[in-house]
Chain A
Amino acid sequence: MPAWKHSITLRLALAFALLATLVFAALGIYLSRSADQHMAELDAHELLGKLALARHVGSREASPEALAARLADALVGEHGVMLAVDSENGAIFRWPGEAAGELAAAATAVGETPGRLSLAGREFRAVAGGLDTAWGETARVVVARDIHHHTDFLDQLQRDFWLAVLAAALLTAVVGLLVARHGMRPVRAIAHAAGRISAGQLAERIAEREVPPELAELVQAFNAMLGRLEESFQRLSDFSADLAHELRTPIHSLRMQTEVSLGKPRSVDEYRDLLASNLEEYERLARIIADMLFLAKAEHGLVVPQRESIRLRELGQRLFDYYGLLADHIALELQGDEVSVDGDRLMLERAIGNLLVNAINHTPPAGRVVLRLTMLDGQAVIGVSNTGTPIPPEAQERIFDRFVRLAPGGEGSGLGLAITRSIVVAHNGSIAVRAQDEVTEFVIVLPAGSAA
């Protein structure tokens, strides 16, 4: 389908024009019918009057000659009227001349109801009736009226009218076009705004107030879409910037170290040290990249946990066995019930392990780390708390963002909590942190497992 067939403006204009044409045409047909009927009535009135006149005169006058004379007198000044009176013995009267006889001959089918008749290319309306003359003969009267004036008038009227209809249609089409274009202006404004938007200007929005209510929904949806785009775009560019920054630092130090070491001959041991140190950096880089990939996949919903029934107490005990080695002079406590969830063993191990490592690292000597497992309203609640300086409230919101390290130059990649959160989210759970009275607690809430 060609583009113009889709044009709303054009379609509206054509619809206006069509509507105008239909209305005017209907009106015109109605008016011309009424005019026609009105004229027919006038003609009939006149013809019947003339017929009555002829009958009246015929019933009074004693001879055909007297009848003709009286009728001629009565008809003086009548234009366009023909009247013929015939008896069995021939023509009695002709008005205005002999042509009336031809008409009378042609009007055999006409009766006392006025009817139309054409003769020699001319249109007549005619009426005929019997006449009982005073002298005893029976005659026939035919009265006719030339109606070409009327038909000419009606024809003219109709021509004028169709012209008027055409003009009206054109005019409404043009007006419709203008109105539609005007009505479409907000749409063009939206298009214009959309055209201005590029990757660098995703903050652009269409003003919702200036838009007619019919388009408000569209504009809202459009703006909401822009909002979502802006957010993911922002996330993506943050991601790239973060990644570049995090990778640049270790690569820079690797390069410095290697360049300096190659600067002059060294002992085998020195070279070995260099390679070993490089290896440690490579490992760190590889881990950052793997973690970033995991987070990127999680953000796009591509991390799909396997589902098996996991007993959290058992898992917690295993984590304690391992990370407990880090907890010198710190008490580790595993509290609570046997709680099961359906989830991915490795991922949950990692998520809770991250929290435990954080807790142990931030607990001062003689402090305490508690892993608390409870069932609450059909949900598994996993709390990891530690004593020590609590996390300041303003940091609690962003602590789950990647590369956020509360202590400057702090250990670790700064990805642990971000990974923990994305694992929890992938398990349809939630995570929060709260701190009070020298105790910080991270709380994971997961849907309870089917085997619970």
Chain B
Amino acid sequence: MKILIVEDEPKTGDYLKQGLGEAGFAADLVRNGLDGMHEGLSGDYDLLILDVNLPGLDGWQVLKALRAAGRDLPVLFLTARDQVEDRVKGLELGADDYLVKPFAFSELLARVRTLLRRGRAREAENLGLADLELDVLKRRATRAGRRIDLTAKEFALLELFLRRPGEVLSRSFIASQVWDMNFDSDTNVVEVAIRRLRAKVDDEFTPKLIHTLRGMGYVLEIR
């Protein structure tokens, strides 16, 4: 999966490239709007990460030019200003998602994966990792063949993890995906939910599947 990053702020750009590279994407970085437009028009990218404030052409103009040329790759724009007009403008111009700086990198990664997944084959109905299995239609979870009783929200949480194995999920991403809560006030609700889910899914079993990455979030994987 090839990603083009258009970002003029040097550190942000470099770390975006490094982070996306380490997450398994091929990421290219350009540092101004004009290069961004050329690369976006000529290169074969699957996703564009576009800063709005750019020297030369700004992000809006790049986006307009790409859409006018019929390029319909997904675009995630980054803005430093949390203005409703900015968001509305970006989405009207054909961007697919946005993030307000400062954002958590894990948040960006999650959005990127969502955008890349969009429009692909129907999501699987049977999910699993190691001996953990989830039947999404029947709402049944088993581990090592034993039935696990989950509440609706616990089920949704586990499904989210199973659909994104190996991905770091930030607390705010989990809160918004599972509870539709978009303002993470300084609480440890997600922590509590994870603890309870672990008690049912992990405590009596090996290997442990749900891991905490301090300061970043949680990940489901076999270690």
A residues in contact (CB < 8 Å) with B: 272-273, 275-280, 282-284, 286-287, 290, 293, 304, 306, 318-319, 321-323, 325-326, 346, 349-350, 353-354, 357, 411-413, 416
* Contact A325 to B215, CB < 8 A, known contacts A283-B104, A346-B183: no
Cβ–Cβ contact B153 & A273, under 8 A: no
Give the docked Cα–Cα distance between A155 and B161 (Å). 118
Cβ–Cβ contact A318 & B180, under 8 A: yes
Cβ–Cβ contact A293 & B82, under 8 A: yes
Cβ–Cβ contact B216 & A276, under 8 A: yes
* Contact A304 to B187, CB < 8 A, known contacts A273-B214, A279-B216, A322-B175: no
Give the docked Cα–Cα distance between A349 and B213 (Å). 28
B residues in contact (CB < 8 Å) with A: 82, 84, 102, 104, 153, 175, 179-183, 185-189, 192-193, 196, 213-216
Q: Give the shortest distance, in Å, between A356 (CB) and chain B (any CB).
A: 10
When the two chains form the complex, which single residue of A278, A287, A290, A350 contacts B82, counting CB atoms closer than 8 Å?
A290
Cβ–Cβ contact B185 & A411, under 8 A: no
Give the docked Cα–Cα distance between A195 and B152 (Å). 69
When the two chains form the complex, which single residue of A283, A318, A323, A354 contacts B189, counting CB atoms closer than 8 Å?
A323
Cβ–Cβ contact B182 & A346, under 8 A: yes
* Contact A411 to B186, CB < 8 A, known contacts A321-B153, A325-B192: yes
Q: Give the shortest distance, in Å, between A245 (CB) and chain B (any CB).
A: 18
Q: Which residue of B lies closest to A289 (CB)?
A: B102
Query: What residues of chain A lie closer than 8 Å to B186, measured between beta carbons?
Result: 284, 287, 411-413
Cβ–Cβ contact B183 & A350, under 8 A: yes
* Contact A357 to B214, CB < 8 A, known contacts A283-B104, A321-B179: no
Give the docked Cα–Cα distance between A299 and B181 (Å). 25
Query: What residues of chain A lie closer than 8 Å to B182, measured between beta carbons?
Result: 346, 349
Q: Which residue of B lies closest to A416 (CB)?
A: B185
Cβ–Cβ contact A357 & B183, under 8 A: no
Query: What residues of chain A lie closer than 8 Å to B82, measured between beta carbons?
Result: 290, 293
The SS class assigned to the A binding surface is helix
Q: Give the shortest distance, in Å, between A145 (CB) and chain B (any CB).
A: 100
Cβ–Cβ contact B104 & A322, under 8 A: no
Cβ–Cβ contact A326 & B187, under 8 A: yes
Cβ–Cβ contact B214 & A322, under 8 A: no
Cβ–Cβ contact A349 & B181, under 8 A: yes
Cβ–Cβ contact A354 & B185, under 8 A: yes
| 5 A-B pairs with least C-beta separation | A279-B215, A276-B214, A276-B215, A350-B183, A322-B179
* Contact A322 to B181, CB < 8 A, known contacts A290-B82, A357-B187, A412-B186: yes
Query: What residues of chain B lie closer than 8 Å to A276, measured between beta carbons?
Result: 213-216
* Contact A277 to B215, CB < 8 A, known contacts A304-B84, A322-B175: yes
Q: Which residue of A lies closest to B186 (CB)?
A: A412
What are 25 sample pairs from A and B whose C-beta atoms fall under 8 A apart? A272-B214, A276-B214, A277-B214, A282-B102, A283-B104, A283-B215, A286-B102, A290-B82, A318-B179, A318-B180, A319-B181, A321-B153, A321-B179, A322-B175, A322-B181, A323-B187, A323-B189, A326-B188, A326-B192, A346-B183, A349-B181, A349-B182, A350-B185, A353-B181, A411-B186
Give the docked Cα–Cα distance between A277 and B104 (Å). 14
Query: What residues of chain A lie closer than 8 Å to B185, measured between beta carbons?
Result: 350, 353-354, 357, 412, 416
Query: What residues of chain B lie closer than 8 Å to A278, measured between beta carbons?
Result: 215
Cβ–Cβ contact A349 & B183, under 8 A: yes
Which of A282, A325, A349, A353 has the most CB atoms of chain B within a 10 A radius of its CB? A325
